[in-house]
């Protein structure tokens, strides 16, 4: 689930570590060894405090998370063709902990930063390094790319 722009702005205010410099080169689309997506940063955050709403008459009390667990990824379309869909994996300790999809129209060399809701159980303990890896890419023209060395589950 892609979060709203308002929530993305809120999430973007959090410190984003290891985002790195802007990509200067391009990867060849036909080269299966180089990913068409250059990930420049990846951060996961756990769900925040809960809100509790009092029940009305016989209705039960309702509890809701204030902010869901999420992953924020910053990347560049390093291919020479527009991309329509990217499937990412969130990796911690060498294991795939979550998968998420970005749909849109991503032009060559476009830099993108999006936040996605994930299961709270996919967020690792504080301070544990995480990475986001492209698993599959579907181009606007119908062609696709699959990661030749995906992370293990």
pLDDT of residue 102: 98
pLDDT of residue 127: 65
User: Chunked in runs of 10, what are the mean pLDDT values of the chain (153 residues)?
Assistant: 35 33 30 78 87 67 79 96 97 92 96 94 79 97 95 88
* Residue 88, CA distances (Å) to 16, 53, 68, 134 in order: 18, 35, 19, 4
pLDDT of residue 53: 67
pLDDT of residue 57: 67
Residue among 46, 44, 49 nearest 16 (CA): 44
What's the rounded Cα separation, in Å, for the pair 145 and 123?
A: 27
What's the rounded Cα separation, in Å, for the pair 44 and 60?
A: 32
């Amino acid at each position: 689930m892609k979060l709203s722009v308002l929530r993305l702005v809120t999430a973007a205010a959090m410190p984003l570590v290891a985002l790195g410099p802007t990509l200067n080169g391009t990867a060849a689309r036909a080269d299966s060894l180089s990913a068409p997506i250059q990930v420049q940063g990846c951060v996961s955050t756990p769900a925040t405090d809960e809100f509790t709403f009092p029940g009305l008459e016989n209705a039960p009390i309702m509890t809701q998370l204030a902010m869901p667990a999420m992953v924020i990824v910053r990347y560049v379309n390093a291919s020479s063709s527009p991309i329509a869909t990217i499937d990412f994996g969130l990796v911690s300790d060498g294991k795939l902990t979550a998968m998420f999809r970005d749909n849109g129209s991503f032009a060559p060399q476009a830099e993108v930063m999006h936040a996605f809701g994930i299961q709270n159980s996919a967020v690792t303990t504080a301070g544990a390094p995480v990475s986001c890896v492209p698993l599959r890419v579907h181009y606007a023209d119908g062609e696709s790319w699959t990661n030749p060395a995906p992370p293990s589950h």
